[in-house]
Every structure is written in structure tokens, then in C-alpha cells.
Amino acid sequence: MHADELPVDDGLVRRLLRAQFPQWAELPLSRVPSDGTVNAIFRLGDSLAVRAPFVPGETGIRRQAVWTKRLAPQLPVPVPAVHGVGVPTAEYPSDWLVVEWLPGRTPAPGELTDPDSVTDELVAFVRALRSADPAGAPDAHRWGGLARDDGAARGALAQIPEVDTARLIRLWERALAAPPWSDPPVWVHDDLLPSNVLVDDAGALAAVIDFVPGVADPATVFLAAWGLLPATHRERYRAGVGLDDAAWDRGIGWAILQASVAIPYYRVSNPGMVRMGLHTLREIAAHA
């Protein structure tokens, strides 16, 4: 997916485990198919997983390792516990993690079987994380404002003929004009895409994964409104999250930015990410 990807495969992960975590080194190991764009995920035995970045310089691993143990006890929804923090080697120049394997499946975009439960549990998760003490917190991936990515968003939208670009540009400009977040920073999970949640067999929310928290505009949590939740549940989520109209407009902007930039970049290499992005942009154009 990326020109400078690190080669990450079963053999490498097995060698890393043998050198740093021999107690787990002989457990069954298999790569998990994923639409992720930063980390390779391997199931390790029945209850563990390995999270190994294939993007050089990825800093989320340390953030996840440090903050999961501090924040997870305050959250009403499970996130993967960190059991081991791997360090770089001559062969593999990146931190990596051994984490808890949480059961469940990632839903297809817009195809929840129990949207009531997912909406309400996601609201509880977002609010609990937002209320945690932000002292010492790092910036989230989507820190700052939308304006810095104005050129990237417009350039990407121009390359997506499958959507109503004119409508999306108007909504993007409305997001840019919305008053910015001016209160103290708050914790967010700023990548609440379908690929980063798990649902159980009944369709209820089972876990939130890819837990790399940081502080940012709380409107970033509205990615979930457009990529994950059906139109019938967006107002329920919006009301539950409890942010103002300006945040809602900025949230539309964050969702447009995430989806639009992803589609041209991953057009060939990651069809799942492209499907998520197109779903999001179509939902925004039709219902925002």
C-alpha cells in the first residue's frame, strides 16, 4: 500500500517473538485479513494478537502501550489490553505489540444488525473517553483544524467521480467556516471506522479496536456517524455525544477529509478502505 512499507510476515513475527517473548513464540500464528493501512495484525494462539506496523516511523504503538492501561478501566466498552511491548531490532526497526485478542467481527459499512445497541454503546464509550483527565495526553492523529488539509481534500475529491463532488465541496466549505473547538483538549478515538469496531453474534458492540487515543477536536468522533451508523441513527448518536452544531459541521468535514484522501491513495491497493470511503461520502452527500 505504501512505497516505503516494512516487510512484515509470519517469519519475521515468529523471529521477533522468539527473541523478545519466548513464552509465546511457539503458539499458532496467522495473519488476519484487514483493511488497516498502518499495522499488520496476526492472531497468536487463542487469546493474543500481534500488532506490527508496516509504516516506518509509526508512533501509535507507544501511545497505545502507555495509555491503554490508564484509560481502559474508565471505559464501558472493551479495548485490547497490551500484554507486551516489542522493541526495534536490526531486522525490524519499529516498536510492536502483543495485545489481547477480542472476539467479534467488523461490520460492513452501514450494515449493522443492532444499530440501537451499537449507537448507545458507542455514545457511552465516546463520552467516557472524553471525560478522562487529559493531563499529559499526546495529540491524536487528527489534531488541529481542518484548514491545514484544505488542498488535500479538494484535490482528492476531484479524483472521485463516483460521488457528488459539488455537494461535498459545499459541505467541506461549511465545515471550514464552522467555529473551531476552543475549550480545553479532550481525549478521542479519532478513527471510529467500521474496521475499528467489533460486534458480537447478536450485532451489539463488542469492542473498539485500533485504540490509539489522543487529544483533538471532539468532533472527530462523528466519523462514526457517517461511516458506521445508518441514517436512522445519526441524530441519536449526535444527541448522545452532546456536542453543538458547529462540532457537527466540523465532524462532517473530518469525515469528508478521511474518506476523500483515502480513496485515491488506496484505489488499487486497499479495496476495503475504498468501499468504506465511498460509502461515507455517499451518505454525507445524501443526508448531511
Tell me, yes or no, whether 28 and 165 share the same domain.
no
Whether 150 and 22 share a structural domain? no
pLDDT at 64 over 80: yes
State residue 59's pLDDT score: 83
Query: Which pLDDT does position 16 carry in this prediction?
Result: 98
Report the chain's mean pLDDT, rounded to a whole number: 96
H or E element: which one contains 198?
A: strand 197-199
% of the chain exceeding 90 in pLDDT: 91
Tell me the DSSP string of 219-246. GGGGHHHHHTS-GGGHHHHHHHHT--HH
Report which of 105, 96, 98, 63 is spatially closest to residue 80, judged by C-alpha positions.
98
CA distance from start to end of the chain = 31
pLDDT for res 35: 87
pLDDT tens, position by position, 225-241 = 999 999 999 999 999 99
Residue 2 counted as domain residue: no
| SS3 of the chain: helix, strand, coil, percent, to 5 | 45, 15, 40
Res 57: pLDDT: 82
Domain that holds residue 77: 10-100
- Does 182 lie in the same domain as 150? yes
Q: pLDDT tens digits, residue range 164-200?
A: 999 999 999 999 999 999 898 899 999 999 999 999 9
Q: Are residues 96 and 144 in the same domain?
A: no
- For the ranges 61-65, 182-186, 200-204, the lowest mean pLDDT is seen at 182-186
CATH code of the domain containing 228:
3.90.1200.10
Range 140-169 average pLDDT: 96
pLDDT in tens, 119-130: 999 999 999 999
Q: Are 175 and 250 in contact (CB under 8 A)?
A: yes
Q: Is the pLDDT of residue 14 over 80?
A: yes
Task: Indicate whether 188 and 258 sit together in one domain.
Answer: yes
Domain boundary (56, 73, 100) is at 100
**211 contact partners, CB below 8 Å, separation of at least 6:** 64, 68, 72, 79, 80, 189
Contact 201, 142 (CB under 8 A): no
Higher pLDDT, 36 or 272: 272
Quick check: helix, strand or coil at residue 153? helix
**Could you give the number of structural domains in the chain?**
2
The predicted pLDDT at position 130 comes to 97
**Per-residue pLDDT at 95:** 95
